[in-house]
Amino acid sequence: MNDIYRDLTLGRFLSYVTYNTASVRGEAATPSSPGQWDLAKALLEELKTLGLSDVTLTDHCYVIARLPATKGKEGLPAIGFIAHLDTSEEVSGEGVRPILVEHYDGRPIELSGGLRLDPQQEGALKAQEGKAIVHTDGSTLLGADNKAGIAIIMGAVEYLLKHPEIPHGAVEVIFTPDEETGKGLPQFPLEALKSKACYTIDGGGLGELDWECFNAWSAEINFTGISMHLGAARGRMVNAVLMASAFAGMLPRNESPEATDGYYGYYCALAIQGDVEEASLKVYIRDFDFAEGERRVAALHTYAKAVEALYPGGKAKVSAQVQYYNMKEKILAQPEVLDKLRRAYDNLGIPVREKPIRGGTDGSRLTELGIPTPNVFTGGWNAHSRLEWLSVEEMAASCQVVVELIKLW
């Protein structure tokens, strides 16, 4: 049966990853990059070609399509499936060359730049021996986050259109821009959505099921120094670059992404730029406990005062805002949404692996707005990395989960 879902997803995935859709942090426009428009327009035409008439591409690059309920099922609740168009800008998405390995032999895979995929270090890769995988050549990311999700949803839509005998309620398809920058839903036309519940298809390996995530803050710290001729700087110049560096050095190393896992939160110094007179530092704060996140925000203000004390005459100003909230509480308040998802896994013999997302999805924001939206696996691994790879079998299984969910609803 998985061969059917493989055929519905693999070709699409290999095509979608060739679009450079990297979003741009700090860009005010939505979408933040032109490549997202290119993929959105291609998906719009593909949905129309499949036979959907209710398809829209909004002014802010949201693709919204609706598969009508089958006859006699119009009274059933609508459900939605979401994936995002963009990829992370942390690694290049230009000129992605996906490499399909039909029967992985279980040995290390040498990539460009001295990188390698090593099954001795990645148990998930070792488990793919004899199976099909897709990986990069090492010069770019792959884009399984989240083009695998798009391929899975599109494959499920085609499956239902080819099997009109399967009864179902209305199904909504939503492809969003700029998820990776944390602003994927502010421009979303919520009034256009009829779904009682949604599911993001944006998780990792087989069986992953996510329904809690970080609370997230984005902070920018702006430093103002005093510029002077370097030959006459003693006792007069205040270097904003050094202020920003000193601030970054105050962030606790044991509360960083590379030093934490599970339910531990962190600070992440994300970007620093500037010159002697003006500099800025971007910091992300993440924690499952909202109060702990607020504690970290308060600490940023303390660090700013400390830097001002170290650099008399200089100024440090912290601006922080919430990006998204932990979706746990609101999802648990509507248990049917999770119950049906667990049942879909069980019906297909897929062991459930429930874990917290050390990040967020568009589902975080949508849940906050009142539509519970847990997250389903895609088969993608090592996201945001030149070592990113995809299990073809797991992507096909996810497509089957989507179809099963639609049947259950």
Residues 223, 349, single domain; the answer is no
pLDDT in tens, 242-265: 999 999 999 999 999 999 999 999
Residues 155, 207, single domain; the answer is yes
The answer to whether 223 and 274 have CB atoms below 8 angstroms apart is yes
Confidence band of 161 (pLDDT split at 50, 70, 90): very high
The CA-CA-CA angle for residues 351, 120, 129, to 5°, reads 55
Residues 146, 72, single domain; the answer is yes
Percentage of the chain beyond pLDDT 70 is 100
Q: Token pair of 339, please? A: 């119950």
Choosing from 302, 324, 346, the residue where a domain stops is 324
b/e map 364-397, b = 16+ CB within 10 Å: bbbbbeebbbbbbbbbbbbbebbbbbbbbbbbbb
| Count of domains forming the chain | 2
Q: What is the CATH number of the domain that holds 228?
A: 3.30.70.360
- Residue 145 falls in the annotated catalytic set: no
For residue 186, cis peptide bond before it (omega within 30 degrees of 0):
no
Where are the extended beta strands (E) located within 212-312? Answer: 215-224, 266-274, 278-287
Q: Is the pLDDT of residue 1 over 70?
A: no
Q: What is the pLDDT of residue 151?
A: 98
Among 46, 89, 158, 179, the active-site one is 179
Choosing from 282, 297, 324, the residue where a domain stops is 324
The overall average pLDDT reported for the chain is 95
Give Cα 105 distance to the centre of its chain: 30
Give me the domain span that covers residue 279: 215-324
CA 10 – CA 150 distance, rounded (Å): 11
Residues 87, 126, single domain; the answer is yes
Q: What is the CATH number of the domain that holds 403?
A: 3.40.630.10
- Backbone phi, then psi, for 303, in 5-degree steps? -65, -35
CA 35 – CA 141 distance, rounded (Å): 15
Residues 176, 262, single domain; the answer is no
Residues 389, 318, single domain; the answer is no
Q: Is the pLDDT of residue 185 over 80?
A: no
Mean pLDDT value of segment 153-174: 97
The CA-CA-CA angle for residues 362, 80, 212, to 5°, reads 40
- Residue 86 falls in the annotated catalytic set: yes
Percentage of the chain beyond pLDDT 90 is 91
b/e map 198-209, b = 16+ CB within 10 Å: bbbbbbbbbbbb
Residues 233, 191, single domain; the answer is no
For residue 239, cis peptide bond before it (omega within 30 degrees of 0):
no
CA 131 – CA 10 distance, rounded (Å): 13
pLDDT in tens, 115-139: 999 999 999 999 999 999 999 999 9
The CA-CA-CA angle for residues 256, 324, 343, to 5°, reads 100
Q: What is the pLDDT of residue 243?
A: 98
Residue 286 CA neighbour count, 13 Å, CB half: 24
Q: Token pair of 294, please? A: 């607020």
Mean pLDDT value of segment 134-155: 97
Mean pLDDT value of segment 193-212: 95
Mean pLDDT value of segment 254-277: 96
Choosing from 285, 301, 324, the residue where a domain stops is 324
Q: What is the pLDDT of residue 348?
A: 97
Residues 15, 147, single domain; the answer is yes
pTM of the model: 0.89
Residues 228, 181, single domain; the answer is no
Residues 145, 21, single domain; the answer is yes
Q: What is the pLDDT of residue 186?
A: 75
Which residues does 184 contact at the CB level (< 8 Å), separation at least 6? 84, 86, 176, 177, 178, 362, 365
Among 46, 86, 202, 255, the active-site one is 86
pLDDT in tens, 55-103: 999 999 999 999 999 999 999 999 999 999 999 999 999 999 999 999 9
pLDDT in tens, 64-74: 999 999 999 99
Confidence band of 407 (pLDDT split at 50, 70, 90): very high
Confidence band of 189 (pLDDT split at 50, 70, 90): confident
Confidence band of 184 (pLDDT split at 50, 70, 90): low
CA 372 – CA 198 distance, rounded (Å): 6
Residues 313, 353, single domain; the answer is no
Residues 32, 22, single domain; the answer is yes
- Quickly tell me which residue has 């990188």 as its tokens: 115
